[in-house]
Amino acid sequence: MFALRSLFRSAHIRYAAASQFHATSNCSGAKVAVVLSGCGVYDGTEIHEASAILVHLSRGGAEVQMFAPDVSQMHVIDHGKGQPAEKESRNVLSESARIARGNITDLAKLNVSNHDAVIFPGGFGAAKNLSTFAVDGKDCKVNKEVERILKDFHKAGKPIGLCCISPVLAAKVLPGVDVTVGHEEEEGGKWPYAGTTQAITALGAKHTVKEVTEAHVDKKNKVVTTPAFMCETKLHLIFDGIGAMVKDVLKLSGK
């Protein structure tokens, strides 16, 4: 009987702790815009990253609205072959609607006054559809609506979250911003996109080395970044790093 009472007491303590965790994390009320770039890692949004962002925002009690530009993709990649699909074209807004379960809005309609923060998932779409970074590197151009949004949120002092390759957008648009895309050496293939750090510094931004489970906060500019799939590692570690980013974004939003 004593053992049974101890078991129930232990279960009650664990339940109370879990309840307290969810009650604490589900109290934000922040209105967060999430900007997508298509659907699929090689030509659009990295789906795991988008999903992780949405889960952490939901747990944080945020109200989310998803946006994407109404433009054609740079190209379409056959994800099974890893090669361009010839004579095929897709629209970024329409493709992003797959992730948003149809609830997607044209990026041109995003108004900073209606939101407390904005977050950009990664995926090659950020470097192909939201900018020309995949082709032009440090000499890239950023989609005019993406540039407007980054500048508007920055001017308003509202936090900006970016993960994976998308920090290059901030590096291009916001002078002197401090971001992370992980490590600065490939380390035997663990960080296959480490060369991105050179482009970031060439743009006049600062790069800070962080682990995949960490987020980096540029407090001056209210920009929060995390490496995500810039690192070849286990999915749950990427999920944790994105969670750290979302937590810091919500904290900076003041909600």
Are the CB atoms for 231 and 182 separated by under 8 Å?
yes
Q: CB of 158 within 8 A of CB of 114? A: no
Residue 233's DSSP bridge partners are none
Nearest to 33 by CA among 66, 75, 72, 4: 66
Strand partners, 72: 91
CA 118, 124, 126, 131: dihedral to nearest 10 degrees?
Answer: 180
- Catalytic residue, candidates 39, 140, 163, 164: 164
Our answer to whether residue 231 is catalytic in this structure is no
CB 207: neighbour CB atoms within 10 A?
A: 23
d(C-alpha 91, C-alpha 69), whole Å? 9
β-pair partners for 176:
none
Note the helical H segments in 100-182: 125-128, 133-136, 144-155, 167-173
Residue 130 phi, psi (nearest 5) = -90, -15
Q: Are 33 and 103 in contact (CB under 8 A)?
A: no
Which residues are catalytically annotated?
Answer: 164
